Amino acid sequence: MSFRTFEDKQPPGQASSGFEFFKGVGQVAGGTLLSITMLASSIVAGGLVGLAVSFRNLPDVRQLRNFFPSETTYIYDVKGKLLTSIHGEANREVVPLDRISPELKRAVLASEDSDFYYHHGINPKGVGRAVLTNWTAGGVKEGGSTITMQLVKNLFLSQKREFTRKIAEAVLAIRLEQILSKNQILEMYLNQVYWGHNNYGVQTAARTYFDKSVENLTLAESAMMAGLIQAPEQYSPFVNKAKAKEQQRIVLDRMLALNWITQPEYDNALKQEIKYGKKVRSFQGSALPYVTNAVAQELARKFGREALLKGGMRVQTTIDTNFQQMAEETVKRWHERLLGEGLSKNQIALVAIDPRTHFVKALVGGVDAKTSEFNRATQALRQPGSSFKPFVYYTAFASGKFSPDSTIYDTPVGYRDGSGWYYPKNYDGSFGGPMSIRYAISQSRNIPVIKVGKTVGMNKVVETCRTLGITSPMEPVTSLPLGAVGVTPLEMASAYATFANYGWQSPATIIARVTDSTGNILLDNTPKPQLVLDPWASAAILDVMRSVINEGTGKHAAIDRPAAGKTGTTSSEKDIWFVGTVPQLTTAVWVGRDDNRTLAHGATGGILVAPVWRDFMMKALKNVPVENFKSPNQFPRPKG
């Protein structure tokens, strides 16, 4: 929190009209009483300054010049709609003093410290009254604390009521008033004080109790809020409206006695019907849990968990709420449909990315975030099956030695692999003889892709995957082209998006921009694409993947516009996929079980997942113009 320059003696809610704000203070104090008060203040202050020598171990209040209170982090969708707030113990949004309602400042001062602008950290009248009360009671019953004393207590000292602590409060208050202006102290206090229901600071309290910004509070609302400070949970209108109303009247009585409000203002405030917030806001859930959890994890990696919980960041995601909700509804509907087709306990993950920016447009980590927060879109490493094959064929195209029409032999073969031999088989157990790469990928033949992988080198395939942003552990084994590796749906969608952008890539992200609470930019993910793949090879792999949808295993993904994609089915039908793209949107859909067991005999990506992809894309691309892919002939072919 950075302090602003204030007129030191400027009362709250006024411009530069001096002490006109405190109407009637002269009548309350009187010239003689003011002289006595100033004399008593000097005597008490002098005594406490002397005692300060005995408090050498007290905190150094000078550090408050650079004090940054913990603040709540807010996460928004791409259009500015609030998705959730993240905080540790303190739910707080810091606001400058000039954005706090003048009515609230008056109400708090009347209730807590009406002489705030006249004392030097301690108030002799309040101290005298507290001493008499405590002496009579035989213990600490009344504090006599000024706002400055309350502030140093909240920031530095134990909450236990002891005489020694009260003296320490007074010493620190005097010290604090020597280095900060009155307005700086008041601003810090109003943003620091606890208002109940885990709300710290006036802004979060105003939003919780009255569903409005603190700058718009009325006199009636302000008096009720000021009345909460002494016992927030006890006087909360969410707990006891009668007590909250009584506290409001007490504060208004005090303001009227001080002549800070008129009788009509008093009467109108008591009569005003207050509209309360619908519910306590602190620790409420997220509107889009899979999205906000992924955002929180990325923020924690970049800035640390402490900054996430206390840094007061303002995070704009790449997600449109309506689009995300459409994706989640699609997943839920297909979950039920697949249950009806015998896929018990199925889970579905979906990730959609704009290939032109690599901004994540939808991220669904499972069927229901309320029953399971595990994000299968970003955290589940599952085998991609044949949807991995485009990475092998791209590597072959980029080598300059292969093209979509190159002939590969689908014939029996064996490879020494580790301590034994590996004999790859096709899904149907047959052999097709000579065929083009285009035909081999459209029919998802296994033996041709392994032969191509062995020819170009499995290490080269691994390099391609790393370039595409796949970071999961990967070994250059013979079975790698068949997807013998764990990947996430996010990694698959991002990789295919790079193909769809003809080799241009920005890091895939769900975060567009992050600022601190004052607007300073902490992270700007404006796309800065780099050419990481060969454009001809990228266009060529898109071209052959169009055949998958037009005449191959992905026929059920046809969407009446140019689209490229690949089915994926692992051995034992544990993971089934469809990953596909149009020029404007790339989407990966995975279906499997959390216990990694077989979904159902004969379950394939082409039969069961391609329709899910098609359903989502038809909705996602509604009103989006049809766009053709670029031909490989538009790019220079690499030399072999």
Nearest Cα to 201, choosing from 270, 151, 163? 151
CA distance 150 to 147: 5
Q: Is the pLDDT of residue 26 over 50?
A: no
CA distance 574 to 596: 6
Is 386 an active-site residue?
yes
pLDDT per position as a tens digit, 549-584: 999 999 999 999 999 999 999 988 999 999 999 999
Task: Look at residue 123 in the predicted model and tell me its pLDDT.
Answer: 84
CA distance 596 to 338: 17
In one-letter notation, the amino acid at residue 337 is R
Decide: 307 and 71 in contact? Cβ < 8 Å: no
Nearest Cα to 302, choosing from 523, 20, 616? 523
Q: Show contacts of 614-618: CB within 8 Å, 24+ apart.
A: 614/556, 614/557, 614/558, 614/559, 615/330, 615/334, 616/327, 616/330, 616/350, 616/352, 616/587, 616/589, 617/557, 617/559, 617/563, 617/580, 617/582, 617/585, 617/587, 618/559
Task: Look at residue 326 in the predicted model and tell me its pLDDT.
Answer: 98
Architecture category of domain 18-57+89-271 in CATH: Orthogonal Bundle (1.10)
What average pLDDT does the chain have? 86
> Backbone phi, then psi, for 236, in 5-degree steps?
-60, 135
CA distance 133 to 154: 23
| Fold equal for 18-57+89-271 and 325-583+595-634 | no
Q: Give mean pLDDT, residues 350-373.
A: 94
Tracing tokens 């995300």 back to the chain, one arrives at 324
- Cβ partners under 8 Å of residue 446, min gap 6: 386, 424, 425, 426, 427, 481, 482
Decide: 56 and 175 in contact? Cβ < 8 Å: no
CA distance 202 to 516: 19
Q: Is the pLDDT of residue 355 over 70?
A: yes
- Max distance between CA atoms of the chain, in angstroms, equals 111
Tokens standing for 212? Answer: 């409005």
Instruction: Return the number of other C-beta atoms located less than 10 Å from residue 634's C-beta.
Output: 11
Task: Look at residue 637 in the predicted model and tell me its pLDDT.
Answer: 96
pLDDT per position as a tens digit, 85-108: 876 656 778 889 999 999 999 999
In one-letter notation, the amino acid at residue 306 is E
Q: Which residue has the higher pLDDT, 127 or 233?
A: 233
Distances (CA, A) of 266 to 223, 235, 253, 270, 570: 10, 20, 8, 6, 74
Weakest mean pLDDT among 23-27, 388-392, 489-493: 23-27
Decide: 485 and 479 in contact? Cβ < 8 Å: no
Which residue out of 112, 187, 298, 573 is catalytically annotated? 112
CA distance 106 to 219: 9
Distances (CA, A) of 1 to 4, 94, 282, 310: 10, 7, 21, 12
Percent of the chain with pLDDT over 90: 63
Tracing tokens 């009344």 back to the chain, one arrives at 142
CA distance 283 to 86: 8
Decide: 92 and 281 in contact? Cβ < 8 Å: no
Q: Is 260 exposed, middle or buried (0-12, 13-18, 19+ CB in 10 A)?
A: buried
- Residue boundaries of the structural domains of the chain: 18-57+89-271, 325-583+595-634
Q: Show the 3-state SS of 34-82.
A: HHHHHHHHHHHHHHHHHHHHHHCCCCCHHHHHHCCCCECEEEECCCCCE
Which residue out of 386, 442, 444, 538 is catalytically annotated? 386
Task: Look at residue 55 in the predicted model and tell me its pLDDT.
Answer: 54
pLDDT per position as a tens digit, 209-257: 999 999 999 999 999 999 999 888 789 898 889 999 999 999 999 999 9
Instruction: Return the number of other C-beta atoms located less than 10 Å from residue 20's C-beta.
Output: 9
CA distance 51 to 29: 29
Nearest Cα to 122, choosing from 168, 183, 159, 174? 174
In one-letter notation, the amino acid at residue 589 is V
In one-letter notation, the amino acid at residue 590 is W
Distances (CA, A) of 526 to 65, 506, 510: 34, 9, 12
Tracing tokens 């409060």 back to the chain, one arrives at 169
CA distance 447 to 449: 6
Q: Which residue has the higher pLDDT, 98 or 9?
A: 98
Tracing tokens 């410290």 back to the chain, one arrives at 113
> Backbone phi, then psi, for 291, in 5-degree steps?
-70, -50
User: Under CATH, which number does the domain 325-583+595-634 receive?
Assistant: 3.40.710.10
Q: Is the pLDDT of residue 24 over 50?
A: no
Q: Is the pLDDT of residue 187 over 50?
A: yes
Task: Look at residue 399 in the predicted model and tell me its pLDDT.
Answer: 97
Q: Is the pLDDT of residue 40 over 60?
A: no
DSSP string, 286-324: -SSHHHHHHHHHHHHHHH-HHHHHHB--EEEES--HHHH
pLDDT per position as a tens digit, 380-430: 999 999 999 999 999 999 999 999 999 999 999 999 877 789 999 999 999
pLDDT per position as a tens digit, 517-553: 889 999 999 999 999 999 999 999 999 999 999 999 9
Q: Is the pLDDT of residue 57 over 90?
A: no
Task: Look at residue 93 in the predicted model and tell me its pLDDT.
Answer: 81
pLDDT band at 22 (very low <50, low <70, confident <90, very high): very low
Decide: 117 and 9 in contact? Cβ < 8 Å: yes
Tokens standing for 102? Answer: 């003048």
What does the chain come to in residues? 640
Q: Is 91 exposed, middle or buried (0-12, 13-18, 19+ CB in 10 A)?
A: buried
Task: Look at residue 5 in the predicted model and tell me its pLDDT.
Answer: 31
Decide: 365 and 402 in contact? Cβ < 8 Å: no
Q: Give mean pLDDT, residues 64-69.
A: 60
Q: Is the pLDDT of residue 303 over 50?
A: yes
pLDDT band at 126 (very low <50, low <70, confident <90, very high): low
CA distance 123 to 112: 11
Distances (CA, A) of 26 to 29, 31, 253, 301: 5, 7, 18, 58
